[in-house]
């Protein structure tokens, strides 16, 4: 074998070795890439599972709040009947009608997973764009809901609480409901006449009219959030089923 043939054989051998090394590196990179993708997918599925749990909890809370606020609407309408001239037969029953309205509560959504995703920058790990869009839409609707609650809070303080504090003897009313306000015994039940001045207040009447309007608005907003949440849960279920 001549020197030229030996050199050619050596070059071909070296090239073959290089090709094998490159192929080995590419295979290793592909394996690592696949492992990384599996890890990312596992993390994504965990986020999706937790998002689903939050949405289910949130929807159950929405149902509770909508039911409570429907009760408030019904109570406010009955109170408005008295402003329009219906006599109060039972003073205690009248004050009980107002309690759920006086004690209304804000709705706080369960969105811990969404907050974690946005604060950590991991929302990009959610590969389904529809899921991300719905998450942002739900968050946007909740902010609108908060703004409406702030508006109602102002109306409540000005139109309902102020006339109540000015025109009703709360000590007597609370004692009539069984709250011990003094050491005296044998308390006399509150007379319906104790609310005459209150029922003449146009400001207070407007407060209960606004309560009807704003509780209905708040319920509509929560119902819209629930509808989007139910749609999102279905999409998440399909995504999780892919594995």
Tell me the residue ranges of DSSP E strands in 89-180.
Answer: none
| Spatial distance between the Cα atoms of 145 and 151, rounded to a whole number of angstroms | 10
Burial profile 165-183: b = 16 or more Cβ within 10 angstroms, e = fewer: eebbeeebbebbeeeeeee
pLDDT per residue over 134-184, tens digit each?
A: 999 999 999 999 999 999 999 999 999 999 999 888 777 777 777 766 655
Q: With 0.85 as the threshold, say if the pTM is over it.
A: no
Q: How confident is the prediction for the chain on average, in pLDDT?
A: 87
Token pair for 236 = 């998440």
Q: Is the per-residue pLDDT at 189 higher than 70?
A: no
- Encode burial over 151-162: b for 16+ CB neighbours within 10 A, e otherwise: ebeebbeebbee
Q: Give the separation between CA 239 and CA 222, rounded to whole angstroms.
A: 25
Neighbours of 73 (CB within 10 A): 20
CB neighbours (10 Å) of residue 76?
23
- Residue 46, domain extent: 3-242
| DSSP per-residue letters across 184-225 | --SPPPPPGGGGHHHHT-HHHHHHHHHHHHHHHHHHHHHHHH
Tell me the torsion sign for CA atoms 7, 8, 12, 15. Answer: positive
Domain count, the chain: 1
pLDDT class for 195, splitting at 50, 70, 90?
Answer: confident
pLDDT reading at 48 higher than 90: yes
The upper half-sphere exposure of residue 188, i.e. CA atoms within 13 Å in the direction of its Cβ, equals 3
| Cα(102)–Cα(112) distance, integer angstroms | 29
């Amino acid at each position: 074998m001549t020197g030229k043939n030996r050199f050619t054989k050596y070059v071909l051998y070296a090239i073959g070795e290089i090709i094998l090394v490159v192929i080995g590196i590419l295979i290793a990179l592909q394996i690592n890439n696949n492992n990384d993708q599996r890890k990312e997918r596992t993390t994504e599925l965990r986020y999706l599972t937790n998002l689903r749990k939050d949405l289910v909890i949130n929807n159950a809370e929405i149902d509770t709040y909508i039911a409570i606020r429907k009760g408030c609407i019904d109570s406010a309408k009955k109170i408005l009947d008295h402003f329009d001239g219906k006599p109060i037969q039972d003073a205690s029953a009248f004050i009980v009608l107002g309690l759920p309205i006086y004690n209304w509560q804000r709705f706080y959504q369960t969105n811990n997973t969404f907050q974690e995703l946005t604060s950590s920058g991991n929302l990009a790990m959610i590969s389904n764009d529809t899921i991300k869009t719905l998450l942002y839409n739900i968050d946007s609707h909740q902010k609108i809901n908060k703004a409406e609650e702030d508006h109602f809070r102002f109306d409540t303080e000005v139109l309902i609480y102020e006339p109540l504090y000015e025109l009703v003897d709360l000590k007597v009313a609370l004692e009539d409901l069984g709250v011990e306000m003094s050491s005296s015994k044998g308390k006399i039940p509150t007379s319906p006449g104790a609310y005459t001045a209150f029922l003449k207040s146009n400001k207070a009447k407007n407060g209960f009219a606004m309560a009807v309007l704003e509780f209905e608005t708040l319920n509509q907003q929560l119902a819209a959030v629930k509808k989007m949440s139910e749609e999102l849960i279905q999409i998440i279920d399909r995504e999780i089923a892919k594995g």
